[in-house]
A = this chain, B = another copy of it.
């Protein structure tokens, strides 16, 4: 359900939230090293996010990636959804076929509450809040 790509992406976006701003753009090579993800790989992921307007970027000298205020107020789910695609996110963790309350598969009730909680959490939390947690020592890097 959640791929490595999503994890890498969250790392990178969180790094941008903590370290970048409109005035302080960061190059791919200066992101990949501290978050410990291959440069070419995270570049591809960040490019996709930029294309989807979830993060910001400019080309050329002095260019790089950064988060605008709008970007920082995106939810973690927004990020994950772009990487995973909506369909994968909406599939149950374990569930066998399309199923719902009216027509539950045998393990629907083993997975649905867990899944709903995860989705709610990811939807409520903004990138900015994640960054604040780190700054306040509530959670810790290195990633």
By a beta-carbon cutoff of 8 Å, the part of chain A in contact with chain B is: 1-2, 6-7, 10-11, 14, 76, 80, 93-97, 103-111, 113-115, 117-118, 121-122, 125, 130, 133-134, 138-143
Contacts and interface: CB of A to CB of B under 8 A. Distances in A.
Contact of A6 (B94, B105, B134): B94
A121 B111 contact: yes
Contact of A110 (B11, B104, B108, B118): B118
Given A1-B93, A105-B139, A76 B125 contact: no
8 closest Cβ pairs, A-B complex: A114-B118, A110-B121, A114-B117, A106-B139, A104-B139, A114-B114, A96-B143, A106-B130
A141 B106 contact: yes
A118 to B, nearest CB: 4
Given A1-B93, A139-B108, A114 B103 contact: no
A96 B1 CA distance: 15
Contact of A105 (B96, B111, B122, B140): B140
A137 to B, nearest CB: 11
A106 B133 contact: yes
A118 B107 CA distance: 11
